[in-house]
Structure 1
Amino acid sequence: MKKFTSLLLIMLAHGFFSQSALAKEEKSALVPLPSVDDFTKGEDGWAFALGLGVEYESAYEGSDEFGFEAQPAGAIQWRNGDDIFYFAGEALGWRGLRADTWLFDAAVAFDEGREEGDSDEGYLDGLGDTEEATELVLQTRYALDDDWRYWLVGRVVTGSNGNLGLFGLGYRFGDQLDGTGSEINVVGVFHDSEYANNGFGITAEQSAASGLPQTNLDGGFRSIGIDYTYRYYLNDNWQIFGEALYEHFSSDVRESPIARSDYEAEVSIGFIYIF
């Protein structure tokens, strides 16, 4: 009986510490959201990830033309507790977790703008190229429960091309806490007149060169969007990811001759190797 009791205590202790270790491993991500890249696996210090994605997307905002495009994926990250500094693609930034419910993110990003050649059908001829711009992106998410099942999200993008903001609600599927699984966000998007006209406005000079009517947009409601993100570890080093995005434009945006479609859409899939 004494041996049996000792054996039972050992088994219970082993089960407890195994579950504790598993929980610690599962909680390695800064937040358990697939849309928030975290390649550190819960360890402080440097993390490197490199990959490639393929996107099928609208040729430009408001376009009814679609095409495939290859894009690099991954990031260089440095983690210190609840803070991660990162360089990813064309963005340099920081994100931090506060009080387990607030996620803050600040980044300087680069916007390539739009070129006349983005339309194979020549719909942008005479409009010229929109300017490239450096933007400041500020974002926050607030968890509505302990395990980030639901959250509120807000984002502001500001730069030389104007200002854009969004506010919405997100939901995470599954129970993974390591940043894998899937999530969905529904957001309302707003822009000021400068941002709106940079994408959909037509000046008098552009009108004369293109033959399209002069168009000037006011600021306000831009669109409603829905975004789905998926992420899965194939093994310790390889990760597969996917994303689907749909943005339905407001009536004001749809009245622009540049908006040949009522929406913008994108589907992407790719692989990342974590060093």
Structure 2
Amino acid sequence: MKNTAVLVAAGLLALPLVATAQQQPAQQPPAQAEKPEKKDWDIRIGAGASYQPDYEGSDDYEVAPIPLLMINYKDIVFLRGPMLGANLFTLQGPREGDKLQIGPLLRYQMGRDEGDNDALRGLGDIDAGAEVGAFITYRAGPWSTGLTVFRDVTDAHDGLTAKASGGYMHKFGPKLRARTELYTTWADDNYTQTFFGITAAQARRSGLRQYTAEGGIKDVGLSLDLDYSLTENWGITGRLGYKRLLGDAADSPLVDGKGSADQFSTGLILSYRF
């Protein structure tokens, strides 16, 4: 966002020059400084690692690699890791930078392997798949809020999820900024049963009790991101996250007894911006 104080100060500094030009009509007034041209493409690549549960609901943690690819074209089409979207509708707010945006989404959904943890033995694998959805977001100054909805279209879990979030960004200076986000996720019966339920056949193979998981509020969470600019192009991002599983997800035998409803994560990424 533009800094209002900087613009005001620039205007005040320009006043004496304008006055001098008015007193000397034979001279041309100084040319106004042009704003930096905004690039059509904004591309960011990087890599890092995260420390996180080895499955959702686990109390065992693993180090996992994080490849980073973020592409934005004219604030219309964007790619953020496994998610592709488009801002089909944009409504500018009362201040510069304030905007309401609505559009479609396509996301790659990671599956789950029963070999990821001993607690999953006998449950079988959950295939990775594709989800289609939509989003609506609104940004006002440092504040933001949004809602995303996804539906599986590849028979991986046949479920529907919706995530509501609110965030705040604070700049500590020209190089360091922090972003916080509070969110909650709702999931339908199909999603919750796939990832947290235990069928009769799975119970016989795994030794876990049979369990039917119904839909509802699946979790609430909080994340903190710290971005630091090492140079004009290089940057480093650190993340801390906490999520609490709720409802039938938290009561699942995979979580209550075999795992934990408290889910922590942290990560570090080094990136380059073109």
Tell me the TM-score range normalised by the shorter chain.
0.7 to 0.9
Letter aligned with residue 118 of structure 1: D
Larger radius of gyration: 2
Distance 1:12 1:267 in 2: 56
Given the two structures, how large is their TM-score scaled by the length of structure 2? 0.77
Distance 2:63 2:19 in 1: 54
Residues 243 and 136 from structure 1, CA distance in 2 versus in 1: closer, same or farther, beyond 3 angstroms? Answer: farther
- 1:62-141 → structure 2 map (5 Å cutoff): 62-79=57-74, 83-95=75-87, 97-99=90-92, 100-119=98-117, 122-141=118-137
Distance 1:56 1:208 in 2: 32
Offset of residue 179 of structure 1: 11
Letter aligned with residue 131 of structure 2: E
Q: List gaps (5 residues or longer) in structure 1.
A: 1-6, 26-40
2:47 alignment counterpart: 52
Q: What secondary structure, in the 3-state scheme, does the structure 1 residue paired with 2:65 have? A: strand
Q: Which moved more, 1:88-97 or 1:189-198?
A: 88-97
Distance 1:92 1:168 in 2: 19
Letter aligned with residue 152 of structure 1: T
> Is 1:150–2:154 an aligned residue pair?
no
Conservation of the 8 A alpha-carbon contact between 1:74 and 1:272 = no
Letter aligned with residue 83 of structure 2: A
- 1:263-274 → structure 2 map (5 Å cutoff): 263-274=262-273
Offset of residue 228 of structure 1: 1.6
> Is 1:172–2:169 an aligned residue pair?
yes
Residues 190 and 131 from structure 1, CA distance in 2 versus in 1: closer, same or farther, beyond 3 angstroms? Answer: same
Bigger RCO (CA 8 Å, 6+ sep): 1
Distance 1:18 1:237 in 2: 30
Q: List gaps (5 residues or longer) in structure 2.
A: 1-13, 21-29, 93-97
Offset of residue 70 of structure 1: 1.2
Letter aligned with residue 109 of structure 1: R
String of CA shifts for 1:184-212, please: whole Å, max 9, x gaps: 11122211111111110111111111011
Distance 2:180 2:33 in 1: 29
Distance 2:33 2:57 in 1: 50
2:201 alignment counterpart: 205
Q: Which moved more, 1:63-72 or 1:133-142?
A: 133-142
Residues 68 and 19 from structure 1, CA distance in 2 versus in 1: closer, same or farther, beyond 3 angstroms? Answer: farther
Letter aligned with residue 268 of structure 1: G
Given the two structures, how large is their TM-score scaled by the length of structure 1? 0.77
Q: What secondary structure, in the 3-state scheme, does the structure 1 residue paired with 2:253 have? A: coil
Q: What secondary structure, in the 3-state scheme, does the structure 2 residue paired with 1:109 have? A: strand
Q: Which residue of 236, 246, 250 corresponds with 2:242? A: 246
Report how many residues are paired: 239
Letter aligned with residue 170 of structure 2: F
Offset of residue 11 of structure 1: 9.2
Q: RMSD across aligned C-alpha pairs, in angstroms?
A: 2.9
Residues 195 and 18 from structure 1, CA distance in 2 versus in 1: closer, same or farther, beyond 3 angstroms? Answer: farther
2:23 alignment counterpart: none
Q: What secondary structure, in the 3-state scheme, does the structure 2 residue paired with 1:123 have? A: helix
Distance 2:55 2:225 in 1: 21
Letter aligned with residue 76 of structure 2: I
